[in-house]
Amino acid sequence: STTARTAAAAPAETQAAAPAATEAAAAAETQAATEAAAATETAAAPAAADVPAYTILPPVLTEPKDEEPLGSADATVRLKCGDTNAMTSAYNQGLVALRNHLEELSGGTMTIDVYPSSSLGNESDMLDAVSMGTQDMLVTSTGPIPAFAKSTANWAVLDLPYLFPSYESAYAVLDGEIGQQLLAGFDGTGIKALAFWENGYRCTTNSKKEIVHPDDLKGMKIRTMENKVHMATYSALGATPTAMAMGEVFTALQQGTIDGQENPYAIIYYGNKLHEIQPYITQNDVFYSPAVLAISEDVFNGLTAEQQGWLLEASELAKHEQRAIERGMQQMGRKNMEAFGCTVSDVDQAEWIEATKSVYDDASLGIDADLLAKIQAITGAN
């Protein structure tokens, strides 16, 4: 059981969001240290006017187990959930946390069966399948969401480079009113969006050479998600973006049809082992990539009110744990890749922010300017 793993993540703390709150505070080993640091940050940081409260758990710094994909054999209500990563990834460790809560809340009658590693298809296929009710659930990045439906087109704003300067600022936005409105964009599409989970800060990897400055990317073929904002960002950086689904990336890298790709370490190291063929890794954190946990509206409506309640409660509880697991993987993944022999390079982030600024003014991307302004009022960035 993974309860020990998630329980080790210490109790939740709700605090007034200070966008500048440091990662050091979150990484503090003991609860006391975390509380002290958080209190200091909250008191000292000049937080934006109406920053909502959020909950943050300390990062989970124990290596993930290769969990069993299927839930308890005794459960009668089994929800089939797909994604694009291995069982050791942050998505699937989060789904195991979700399963544990759901089994407990439902007295063992409900469970989650995980279908990892694109076994049910790529993210846009799974969105379609869930909206038609032929697949129960999925966890997906925001990659395919702006193109999914008219009512989710405004999700493009979440893919802007350097939009969220910290995890705390992302949680303040995504767990507040703005996040609720974005999730509600799925209403009527056949999908009920349950919660914002975390894909994480995306970093560039490649097989050719060390990349420290945006200029170093010139002429490189970099795989991006099938997302216009991400593609425009890599164009602005001077690379040649090539969009493809995650399931095709390993082979394309191996065959050399692309030089590199970008993802959080939870995906690069834990979810897809890309570091084995991508020795150069740049910690440039270009996008904070949110993820969404979602269920077919038909399937949700077919549950009793009590069962719906258990699922909603489990989704919320697992959200905080999944994020803590993801943040832990970003730290542990880096150390593990360095130990493996990869070159992990740090950057002067100001240089990268400058090089990607033009994306904010690209009218072809359909960015909702009002929504962007509301987000920036909370994050205090740009």
Closest to ligand EAX by CB, 23 vs 248, is 248
225 belongs to the binding site for ligand EAX (CB under 6 A) = yes
294 belongs to the binding site for ligand EAX (CB under 6 A) = no
Among 34, 84, 111, 205, binds ligand EAX (CB under 6 A): 84
**Which residues sit opposite 205 in a β-bridge?**
261, 281
**Segment near ligand EAX (CB under 6 A); pick from 99-107, 135-143, 312-320, 342-350:** 135-143
Nearest-angstrom CA–CA distance, 170 and 161:
13
Nearest distance from residue 161's CB to ligand EAX, in Å? 15
Closest to ligand EAX by CB, 30 vs 257, is 257
Closest to ligand EAX by CB, 75 vs 246, is 246
Nearest-angstrom CA–CA distance, 374 and 382:
12
246 belongs to the binding site for ligand EAX (CB under 6 A) = yes
**Segment near ligand EAX (CB under 6 A); pick from 70-78, 96-104, 138-146, 158-166:** 138-146
Nearest-angstrom CA–CA distance, 322 and 74:
25
Q: Are 269 and 63 in contact (CB under 8 A)?
A: no
Nearest distance from residue 27's CB to ligand EAX, in Å? 23
Closest Cα partner for 268 from 169, 211, 344, 346? 344
Closest to ligand EAX by CB, 34 vs 93, is 93
Among 267, 332, 344, 367, binds ligand EAX (CB under 6 A): 267
Nearest-angstrom CA–CA distance, 190 and 152:
12
Enumerate residues 6+ apart whose C-beta is below 8 A from 178: 371, 374, 375, 378
| Beta-carbon count within 10 A of 353 CB | 15
Nearest distance from residue 267's CB to ligand EAX, in Å? 5
- Buried (b) or exposed (e) across 304-317, using 16+ Cβ within 10 A? eeebeebbeebbeb
- Triad 217, 197, 343: Cα angle to 5°: 30
325 belongs to the binding site for ligand EAX (CB under 6 A) = no
Which of helix, strand or coil describes residue 205? strand
Among 141, 154, 189, 284, binds ligand EAX (CB under 6 A): 141
Closest to ligand EAX by CB, 17 vs 246, is 246
What is the contact surface with ligand EAX in residues (CB under 6 A)?
Answer: 84-85, 140-141, 143, 199, 225, 246, 263, 267
